[in-house]
């Protein structure tokens, strides 16, 4: 299956200055990450854009953390979903993007708000994965 992509990982880490955790992956493997994560932790995210109601009802589970999902957009490029756990000041936000077969998942904490994190995520995906 191969390992991580060092060039992509360097770009992700440079883009991730406002993100707590960031990972680029496909259904088969982790391509780049700024923290230790296994593909088994990420498999459930691969189905997030199949059914809006199911995704919002289930939320996202990332390792030991559960996030409520409150936004889901499959009509954007990239597709985007986001949510949070906890409150605005001490909680953590999460955002997932999908372009083609590639996913990018990020988490963020205050003072970063979802509007900023989502626009940064969108811009990163468009720069790295647009044809």
71 pLDDT above the threshold of 80: yes
Architecture of domain 6-129: 2-Layer Sandwich (3.30)
Distance CA 30, CA 5 (A): 9
Rounded to an integer, the average pLDDT of 10-22 is 94
pTM above 0.85, yes or no: yes
Instruction: Give the start-to-end residue ranges of the domains of the chain.
Output: 6-129
Which residues have CB under 8 Å from 12's CB, separation 6+?
22, 23, 24, 32, 33, 34, 104, 124
1 pLDDT above the threshold of 90: no
With cut-offs at 50, 70 and 90, classify the pLDDT of residue 56: very high
Indicate the average pLDDT of the chain.
Answer: 94
């Amino acid at each position: 299956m191969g390992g991580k992509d060092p060039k992509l990982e360097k770009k992700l880490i440079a883009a991730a200055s406002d993100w707590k955790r960031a990972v680029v992956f496909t259904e088969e493997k982790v391509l780049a990450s700024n923290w230790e994560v296994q593909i088994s932790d990420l498999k459930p995210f691969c189905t997030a854009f199949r059914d809006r109601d199911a995704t919002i009802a289930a939320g996202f589970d990332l390792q030991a953390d559960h996030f409520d999902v409150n936004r889901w957009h499959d009509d954007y490029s990239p597709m985007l979903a986001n949510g949070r756990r906890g409150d605005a000041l001490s909680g953590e936000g999460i955002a997932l993007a999908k372009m083609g077969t590639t996913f990018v998942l990020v988490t963020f904490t205050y003072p970063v708000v979802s509007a900023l994190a989502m626009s940064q995520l969108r811009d990163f995906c468009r720069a790295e994965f647009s044809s």
